[in-house]
Chain A
Amino acid sequence: MAKHKTPLIDQLESGPWPSFISDIKLEAESRAKNEKGLDYQIPRDVCEDLLGVLELSYKDGRTHWKHGGIVGVFGYGGGVIGRYCDQPQMFPGVAHFHTMRVNQPSGKYYTTKFLNDLLNIWELRGSGMTNMHGSTGDIVLIGTTTPQLEEIFWELTHNMDTDLGGSGGNLRTPSCCLGQSRCEYACYDTQELCHYMTLHYQDELHRPAFPYKFKFKFDGCPNCCVASIARSDLAFIGTWRDDIRIDQGAVKAYAGGEIPSNAGAHAGRDWGPFDIQKEVINLCPTGCMRYEGGKLEINTKDCTRCMHCINVMPRALRVGLDKGLSILCGAKAPILDGAQIATLLVPFVKVEEPYDELHDIIGKVWDYWMEEGKNRERVGELIKRNGMQEMLKRCDLEPIPQHVQEPRANPYIFWREDEVPGGWKRDIVEFRKHHQR
């Protein structure tokens, strides 16, 4: 029988979709049975208490977690996020429930052995619950106690040859798409560059260096599968300088319906037959294409590398041969000053060891931000505050037309203060009636 009655969160299992509540219950059951005979190093009923505190939060309409603290592993200022429950008597299993971030491998390729080894550590020394993966890309291990942190860290670094990720005012765990390992669109080896940068900037990753978080993301092409353009302070996005390669025979085959467009993803129901004029030419954002007399022409000078035509007709169109990357700067998710999409900083760089041009830009951006950035101000907010002109000056870059245009908009909609009962202010005495210090 379950330790806590959870009628509210049980409802989350009633839909047709996978439920994290069912997953937590499975883990709770597994820990109760303990078929492996493990000597659990944190409370065995951690999952049941997690369900209990979640039920209480649904009932109260308020959180019962506190986060932050001095917890961490020796010599590291990141990778561990202290978390405590503010009702420890009711839920002792989650009184201390720290999160550990583990650096994911580039492209998130795993061997079964790696995953088994990781879970063996985490079942013994943590809650057994994971988040694969967090928004930044890390493997997120959810819930352990302070004495286990060093033990887990030792095993990860000595037995599994991996490391903690970033948190706090550090460089966050760099993240990349799977790049040339699987994808013909990739214009550079994202996994190699991501791995190299992770090793090169170890000190910034593990020890606080900045006014706030800083993220690198590496996308092999402008499809941006790791959302570098929307989520990273410095985005490295693969691109090409020459013409899109065109196989006119294949274009005709797409136009004639012999090859399914979008690999057949956009077909069936009322979609109708493929119409190259309507679905490709007219959708080109810069109008740089035409299809006449069975021949496709692209004016490369006007092409913004949006990838739409290539995505629709991948057997007919391929990225150019003169490949490299663009560096964009200043994207962020909402938290403080609203979401921002990244701004182009460097239009094209060849990706060649020892990556001097990349280090040069990274160093200049960091110098400027460390000097001028306010506490908890992302580099994108600094650009907004001081202007793009100043950013370009500090990076020793000449302004070009692409620096000026601003195609971004905030995709998030928030509650307004007058829509929330009580507004943003609260009574701390009333708060303490429900939450212990």
Chain B
Amino acid sequence: MAIADEQAAKDTIVEALKKKKGKTKFYLKDYYKMLPDEKLMDVKRLVNQMVKEEILEYWSSGSTTLIGLKGLGKQHATEEDE
């Protein structure tokens, strides 16, 4: 892991997610913006590590993966306009 202060980076992600209004699940690309100074592959590793630690969770449509705080928001399939 090349991120120098891993705990601070995790806290940044959790805080950024808690501030979001409306949506609860986000593309991996949205997490890059939360840590703009880090390498993309390092952010990817950190986000996946946070899923393993059960801070975050995946939501997959089968073709696309979204990631959000565990337990929040949609858990099952929904339609686009609801």
Contact = CB atoms under 8 A, between A and B. Distances in A.
A207 B60 CA distance: 11
B64 A370 contact: no
Contacts of B11: none
B62 interface: yes
16 contacts: A67-B61, A67-B62, A68-B62, A70-B58, A70-B60, A75-B51, A77-B65, A78-B65, A81-B60, A167-B63, A168-B63, A169-B28, A169-B65, A211-B27, A371-B40, A376-B64
Interface of A: 66-70, 72, 74-75, 77-78, 80-82, 84, 99, 167-170, 203, 207-213, 335, 367, 370-371, 373-376, 428, 431, 437
B58 A431 contact: no
Interface centre among A84, A203, A209, A211 (most CB of B within 10 A): A209
B62 A375 contact: no
Contacts of A80: 60
Contacts of A209: 28, 41, 44
B4 to A, nearest CB: 21
Contacts, number: 102
Contact of B58 (A66, A77, A373): A77
Interface in B40-76: 40-41, 44-45, 47-48, 51-52, 57-65, 67, 75-76
Contacts of B5: none
Nearest to A208: B65
Contacts of A211: 27-29
B51 A77 contact: yes
B7 interface: no
A428 B79 CA distance: 9
Given A84-B77, A208-B65, A68 B59 contact: yes
